[in-house]
Structures are given as C-alpha cells and as structure tokens.
Structure 1
Amino acid sequence: MCGIVGLFLKDKELEKQLGQLLSSMLATMCDRGPDSAGFAVYGAPQDGRAKITVQAADPDAAFAGLDSALAKRIGADVAMHRKTTHAVLSLPADRAVAARDALRADHPAVRVMGVGDVIEIYKEVGYPTDVVQRFGLAGMTGTHGIGHTRMATESAVTTLGAHPFSTGADQCLVHNGSLSNHNNLRRDMVREGMRFETENDSEVAAAYLTAQMDKGLSLGAALEKSLDDLDGFYTFVVGTKTGFGVLRDPIACKPAVLAETDQYVAFGSEYRALVNLPGIEAARVWEPEPATVYFWER
C-alpha cells in the first residue's frame, strides 16, 4: 500500500519550516505503511563541499574513526555529523566519487544512502512517527523534501528496502506500486555498469531515471520516457537538486493528490496529508492525471 508525501517550496520564508511541515505530512501516512519510513531533505549548498549520508547496523563500531580514515584515504578533509544509525560526511565536492569508492572498498559495514551537494537521506525500520522523531526531521530546513511510509509486500522489512532510493547525485525516488519488468531492466543496467544494493523494484526505477538523466535528459523528459520503458502500476515522486516531479502509470490505480499555491507544491497519497499546510484552503487541489508528468524546477 505505502504512503508518499512531498513538498517543494517556492517561498524562501517557508524553508525554515520544511522539516516541521514534512514531518506532519508523514505522520498522517502511518497506517499506509507502518513497517518502515524514510525521507530526503534538500538543504542549503556549501561552496565546494559535498555530502554523503551513510548508515550502519552497528554505528558505534562502523563510525568510530570513519572520518579520519576516509580523510587519509582520499587525501582531503572529512567532517562527520552523526544522527543515531546515520551520519552525514562533508568533504570537498571533487573527492565525492573517490570517497564513495573508498567506503565501498574499505568499510563494508557502512551503507551509502545518498550523495550530492544538498541532499540528506534518512530511513529506518520502525513506525513512521518514531523514525521521524529519531532523526529530528521537524528541526530540519531546506528547499524541498520527499518522504515515504512502507508496507512491505514484495521484499523483507529492512533499512535498505525502505524508501527513498538514491542512485545519482542529489536524486532520489519514492514509489507506491509494483513494477513487473524490473528484473529485466536491472540486468540491462548492470551490464551498463549500474550497481544495485537491493532486490527492490523501486531501486530499479530510481536507477532508470538516473541513467536517463546521465544521458542528458531533464527529470521531466526522463519521466516521460519511463512511460514507454517501465511496466507496472506505480506512483513516483522524484527529487533532484533543483527539481520535483510526479508521475502515475497509465492506469493510475494508486491514490494521489497534488496541491499548489504561490508558496509551495505539495503531494500526498491522500488529501489528509496536506490539511495542515499553510494556505491549503486556498490552494489549487487536483488528482494528477494518468501517464502525465508533473514537474517543477527552481
């Protein structure tokens, strides 16, 4: 079943409230996905710096000395800010690829959740309100964010199986539904050099969009192309460094609602996820059409 929320801010005055608003939206989706939850927040960039969000099952052991070991390995300064089972590593942007490779090679107990200039991703097994409180979402700021509550129907309840999935810099996806051709797509992308961490079909969808954008397509164009290449029933909400996109499959059997004001664009699996947003009573509210790309960019 699963629940999805997303909030793309147009008004800079709301950026300090992003986490508070997004956490309230996620709380309404608990009964759609009580198994696990996750969210991505797009914050302010730091000149010349990149972020790598990592997670570990035993963070006390895995994160001990991680920043200094990684700094020595890549020949650059690394700062680490830990949040329970996750940590955000800050490092020079031109060393981000080397750092990710070093993490995979030298620290197998550490899992990379996301990489980019502004994105941070947090996800864990547990009731969504507990996950949100654990990572302090309500206190986070930023320009946009997406979140997901999961009811696992096709794979185990694990941290790696939770959403969002991120397979490209500052890009992530949350998904409600099921793809029928994801195994074939995964094999094709593996041959092209893409690496996968799970058997989840949603990771395949995220990787597909990354591959298309790596070929020069915009997020909107990549979503358009996915209508031809992805088979199944699905609702996608996707975030990039500057963009926010929504797509439903041609049948559109999964519930979805969009709302737009001069201050924001908001998405929820159900309208109740949007009711506490400022000015919602004056918003343009509609059900997104099947097989239609909705895309906003700053």
Structure 2
Amino acid sequence: MCGIVGLFLKNPALEPQLGTLLSGMLETMTGRGPDSAGFAIYGAGDAEDGSVKLTLRGPDAGTLSKAVSGLESDLGLSLSALARDTHSVVAVPAKDEQRVRAWLTANAPRVDVVSAGRRMEIYKEVGLPASVAERFDLAGMTGSHGIGHTRMATESAVTTNGAHPFSTGADECLVHNGSLSNHNDMRRRLEREGLSFATKNDTEVAAGYLSWRMREGASLKEALESSLTDLDGFFTFVVGTESGFAVVRDPIACKPAVMAETDDYVAFGSEYRALVGLPGIDKARVFEPEPARVYAWERNAGTSQTAERP
C-alpha cells in the first residue's frame, strides 16, 4: 500500500504555490506510506539553454560538496550547485553530461544521479512524508507541475533507493502504486535495448519502459497505452515529463484513485482527502479515472498552461 499525489497547474498564477500545495497533499498520504517519500518538481529553476540539471544524492552535504569540487578541478568546469540536505542540484553543460556521469562513477561511488533534465528535480529519502518535505523545503518550491509518493515497503527493504519517483530519461519520472509480475523479464528486454537500472524495483522498470517507448518515437499517451498490454500486473501510474502530466490505471483498477479538475489545475490522489486542501476543490469536477484509460495533459510553450480534457 502506497500513496500517490500529483498536481498539474493550468493557471500560471498558482505556480508560486505549487510546493505548498503538493507538500500538504503528500503529508495527507502518510497513512498509506510512512516508510519513505519523494517528489518531483518541474520548474523549480529551469536550466539555461545548453545546460542540464543533475540532481545528485549523497550520504551528507560534505560528500556532495567534495564531489562538485572534484568535478570542477578535474574536468575544468565552473558549476553552480544548489544544496538541499542530502541532495544537490548541479547545472552542467549538456555537452559535458556524460563526462560528469563517468567522473562520478569513477571518483564518487557514494553519490548517485537521481534525475536529469532541463526542468525536473527529484528529491527522496527515508522517513515520514512531512519530514522529507521539510528537509528539502518542498513548501518553498515553485513550478508548473509535480508528483509525489509515500511508500510502505511490503516486498523489499526500506531504503532511499527504493523510494519513488524513479527517473530513467531526461525530465521523465514515474510514481507507482501496485505490483508488476513481469518486471524481471521486461528489465532484461530493456537492458538489451541499452537501458540500465540502479535498483531491482519494478517501478524503475516501468519508468524505463516508458522512456524506451518515447525514445522510439511514441508520445507519452501512446507509451502508456502500450504499457497496458506489455506490463503485466495491477498498477496505477502517475507520470511527469517536461511539459506533461498523465495518469493510467490497469484494466482491473484495484488500486484506489481520484482526480479533480478545475480551470486552474488537475490533481490526482490515491484518496480524496489528499485533494481537500486545494483551492476551489468544492467546485471541481471530481471523478475516478476509468480502468485502462490514459488521462494526459500538456503544458504549452512559454508561460501559458492548458489541459486536454479527457
């Protein structure tokens, strides 16, 4: 049993409130997942043209600071880093991303790359959702959309690596409630396609599957539609991309889910109580997403936000 939340803002005027709203939603799902929590924010500080943001995670701030200094001295880079507890967001030239990753693998084995992208930052840790949100100052973050997850570990240890969201592509991430029965077979298939995985978690395989399908030219909606036949099990996926937000449930839809839509936002929660603190929720169109149906919204270029009504 885990908890999922997501918030996609159609009204740019609400972007300064994204972190505050998402933090409240995440904390409400504590009962569904008190072991660990994580979230992805889009737009907390977009990378400049020609750059990519890498969210790094380490055992402590000192280890991260040492890694950033090593990157600068050994690779001749001048890097800007924003430290947040056990994570640090580092903007690097896009042309140097693979050099940076290779250096970290060889010289900083205790530092992991949690996410990469122009707009996305991912933070996750062991602990109660409210504590995780406070450690990273989620309430102070701004952006266009975000997703979050609270985990109750039932099939594996309680670790930061097991926490959601999982990201396997630039500005792509996924949170998941459920279980996949064919994830080992799918992992081997995706590894033959050139993907690599940091954990044995089935959610990382699901994220990798979507990244692979989109890399092959599928849209996010098309990738999620094909997941309904290629991924076996029971699941609810909430997905974020640089410009989009999507939800899909398996054909049985045994995991709880509720959505709300207004002119200002689209919101998802594993339970309705995760949505009650949102502005204008009393006038929202509240509905349960149908089984095996993809619900997807996209962000227009620039500052305007629009949603494609399912």
Task: Please state which band the TM-score falls in when normalised by the shorter chain.
Answer: over 0.9
Matched, 1:36 2:41: no
Output the CA distance in 1 between the equivalents of 2:127 and 2:100.
30
Output the CA distance in 1 between the equivalents of 2:18 and 2:90.
22
Output the CA distance in 1 between the equivalents of 2:95 and 2:10.
30
Output the CA distance in 2 between the equivalents of 1:104 and 1:171.
22
State the 4+ residue runs in structure 1 displaced beyond 6 angstroms. Answer: none
Partner of 1:110: 111
Q: Give the counterpart letter for 2:59 in structure 1.
A: A
Partner of 2:304: none
Q: Which consecutive unaligned segments of at least 5 residues does structure 1 have?
A: none
Cα shift readout 1:24-82 (whole Å, capped 9, x = no counterpart): 1011100000000000000142322211001112442x223322321344443211111
Instruction: Answer yes or no: is the 8 Å Cα contact 1:9–1:264 preserved in 2.
Output: yes
Instruction: Answer yes or no: is the 8 Å Cα contact 1:235–1:248 preserved in 2.
Output: yes
Output the CA distance in 1 between the equivalents of 2:286 and 2:48.
37
Partner of 2:138: 137
Partner of 1:51: 53
Partner of 1:2: 2
Partner of 1:220: 221
Flag the 1:73–1:210 CA change in 2: closer, same or farther, 3 A: farther
Partner of 2:125: 124
Flag the 1:192–1:74 CA change in 2: closer, same or farther, 3 A: farther
Q: Give the counterpart letter for 2:22 in structure 1.
A: L
Instruction: Answer yes or no: is the 8 Å Cα contact 1:93–1:117 preserved in 2.
Output: no
Partner of 2:12: 12
Partner of 1:91: 92
Instruction: Answer yes or no: is the 8 Å Cα contact 2:80–2:90 preserved in 1.
Output: yes
Which deviates further from its counterpart, 224-233 or 43-52?
43-52
Provide the secondary structure at the position in 2 that maps to 1:178: strand
Output the CA distance in 1 between the equivalents of 2:59 and 2:187.
26
- The count of corresponding residues between Structure 1 and Structure 2 is 297
Provide the secondary structure at the position in 2 that maps to 1:46: coil
Matched, 1:235 2:236: yes
Q: What RMSD over aligned residues (CA atoms) do the two structures have, in Å?
A: 1.2
Cα shift readout 1:246-274 (whole Å, capped 9, x = no counterpart): 01000000000111111111000001000
- TM-score, structure 1 length as denominator? 0.97
Residue pairs, 1:46-85, within 5 angstroms:
46-48=47-49, 49-60=51-62, 62-85=63-86
Partner of 1:264: 265
Output the CA distance in 2 between the equivalents of 1:216 and 1:162.
29
Q: Give the counterpart letter for 1:2 in structure 2.
A: C
Provide the secondary structure at the position in 1 that maps to 2:139: helix
Cα shift readout 1:74-99 (whole Å, capped 9, x = no counterpart): 44321111111111111223322332
Output the CA distance in 2 between the equivalents of 1:187 and 1:131.
33
- TM-score, structure 2 length as denominator? 0.93
How far off its partner does 1:104 sit? 2.0
Output the CA distance in 1 between the equivalents of 2:258 and 2:272.
6
Provide the secondary structure at the position in 1 that maps to 2:263: coil
Q: Which consecutive unaligned segments of at least 5 residues does structure 2 have?
A: 300-310
Q: Give the counterpart letter for 1:10 in structure 2.
A: K
Q: Give the counterpart letter for 1:227 in structure 2.
A: L
Q: Identity across aligned pairs (percent)?
A: 63
Provide the secondary structure at the position in 2 that maps to 1:209: helix
Q: Give the counterpart letter for 2:267 in structure 1.
A: A
